[in-house]
Structure 1
Amino acid sequence: MKKLVKQMVTALVDHPRHVKITEIKGDKSVVYELRCHTKDIGKVIGRSGKTVGAMRTLLGAIAAREGRRAMLEVVE
């Protein structure tokens, strides 16, 4: 799933080298912390949070198939 998140985000941003994703695993959950260039944060979040919301929905659906939970956090 980490590869999927990285691929989606790098396709959106202007500075793909600055994209860093940290994976924090728990018992039944995974948290992905996304860091990117400050000028690209708006593109990742999208208007009214729709873009990041869509990415969270995809991650949640994939994780649910495995019996887990996945969360995506955008860190400045």
Structure 2
Amino acid sequence: MKALVETIAKALVDHPDDVRVNAVEKERTIVYELSVHPDDMGKIIGRQGRIAKALRSVVIAASVNTDKRVTVEIV
């Protein structure tokens, strides 16, 4: 799942080397913290948050088979 978030983010930004994904695992949830170069923040969020929402939707759909809740936070 971490690789999925990283691959999608790297395809969207101008500085793919600065993409970092950190997985924070809690009891029933996994939070993927995505950090990018400051110049690429707008590209990851998108207009009115559309790209960020789509990224979250893809990750949630991919995690259907797991018994944990998965979220993506943009740091």
- Regarding TM over 0.5, the answer is yes
| AA matched with 2:6 | K
Aligned-residue RMSD, C-alpha: 0.9
| Displacement of 1:47 | 0.6
Size of the alignment, in residue pairs?
75
Q: Measure the CA separation in 1 of the matches of 2:68 and 2:60.
A: 8
Scaled by the length of structure 1, the TM-score of the pair is 0.92
1:28-65 Cα distance to aligned partner (Å, 9 max, x none): 21001111100000000011101010110111122232
Structure 2, unaligned stretches of length 5 or more?
none
Question: Could you say what secondary structure the match of 1:27 adopts?
Answer: coil
Q: Between the two proteins, what is the percent identity of the paired residues?
A: 39
Aligned equivalents of 2:64 and 2:25: distance in 1?
Answer: 15
